[in-house]
Structure 1
Amino acid sequence: MGIRNYLVEGVSCTGKTSVCKELRRRGYHAINGDTELAYQGDPETGRPTDSLAHENHIWQVDKVRALIADQDEAVTFFCGGSRNFSHFIDLFDGVFVLGVDLDTLNQRLDQRPEDEWGSKPVERELVVRLHRTKEDLPKNGILIDATAPLAHVVDEIVRRTEANK
């Protein structure tokens, strides 16, 4: 979708959806991967699965590739978490990883509606572990301090994409 394409990743409650909404509000082309690209599947094969496990939350690789190949926009942001990002991360011009401290993460998890992922105790334990270990995040992403106000977080992302022109 974009001549330049960026991935915005992070553990649950770091602000990926909020960043996506704010980018859209500012007129940028932004895709919410959790609602527009995600499904439950095997992260290696892509085959759909009935498992609702965190590791099965993946994106449609062919769709990601097709969106990146279509260069109708100057820049496109792909926001959300995907456990199969290794299958398409090399297509992005840059990767941003939203990060927060543990206290902020816990405050945000406390505010999660009961029907959203991360609100149940077992899910919360996983989010906290993933925050600590960073085991399912891109390793070479640019860390963005997502404890800052949303406008500042998005300003920083946009500033860094402008520097890559």
Structure 2
Amino acid sequence: MGMKNYLIEGVSCTGKTSVCNELQRRGYHAIHGDRELAYQGDPETGQPTDGRTHENHIWDVEKVKVLVSNEDEPFTFFCGGSRNFSKFIDLFDGVFILDVDRETLKRRIDMRSEDDWGAKKSERDLILRLHQTNEDIPKNGIIIDATAPIEHVVDEIIQLCK
């Protein structure tokens, strides 16, 4: 929904939701991808699947295309992760990857409530492995140090968009 569209990605607990909230607070058009675009589906075909797995957490590609084609806003930020980002990443003018050190990541995981994704040991182990390998995030994004206060993280993203 913007003349310029940006994806904000990163492993779980790096701050995607917090960045989206701060962008919205500042008046920017920001979409909570994990809430507004995500569903459980096959990353290749898009066909819905049962259950709640990390591997099948995907975004609706057609919805992403529609939102990107709308130029009502100067900038639109798509915040969240999906296992099918390769199906739509070329639509974005830029990609930002939120990154934190391992200790910060562990501390943030520990702060999650029991019903949040990442609270179970198997989910925690997966998050830590994905953080170490970076296998689950876009390869050519601009790395943003998300250990800084959220205001500074968003300031840096906005500055890089201008």
TM-score w.r.t. the length of structure 1 is 0.97
State whether structure 2 residue 156 is matched by structure 1 residue 156. Answer: yes
Amino acid at match of 1:55: E
Quote the residue 1:102 is aligned against: 102
Quote the residue 2:62 is aligned against: 62
Shift >4 Å, 4+ stretches: none
**By how many angstroms is 1:98 displaced?**
0.1
CA contact (8 A) 1:5 1:94 kept: yes
Quote the residue 1:129 is aligned against: 129
Quote the residue 1:111 is aligned against: 111
**By how many angstroms is 1:53 displaced?**
1.4
**By how many angstroms is 1:109 displaced?**
0.3
**By how many angstroms is 1:51 displaced?**
3.1
Structure-1 separation of matches of 2:117 and 2:78: 20
Q: Deviations over 1:135-163 (max 9, x none)?
A: 0100000000000000000000000001x
**By how many angstroms is 1:52 displaced?**
1.5
Structure-1 separation of matches of 2:80 and 2:90: 16
Unaligned runs of 5+ in 2: none
Structure-1 separation of matches of 2:113 and 2:146: 20
Amino acid at match of 1:26: R
**By how many angstroms is 1:80 displaced?**
0.2
Counterparts of residues 7-18 of structure 1 (less than 5 Å): 7-18=7-18
Structure-1 separation of matches of 2:105 and 2:29: 27
Q: Equivalent pairs: percent with the same residue?
A: 70
Structure-2 separation of matches of 1:52 and 1:32: 18
Amino acid at match of 1:143: I
Quote the residue 2:146 is aligned against: 146
How well do the aligned residues superpose, as a CA RMSD in angstroms? 0.4
CA contact (8 A) 1:2 1:70 kept: yes
Amino acid at match of 2:60: Q
Structure-1 separation of matches of 2:150 and 2:15: 8
Q: Which secondary structure state, in structure 2, belongs to the residue aligned with residue 54 of structure 1?
A: coil
Q: Which secondary structure state, in structure 2, belongs to the residue aligned with residue 55 of structure 1?
A: coil
Unaligned runs of 5+ in 1: none
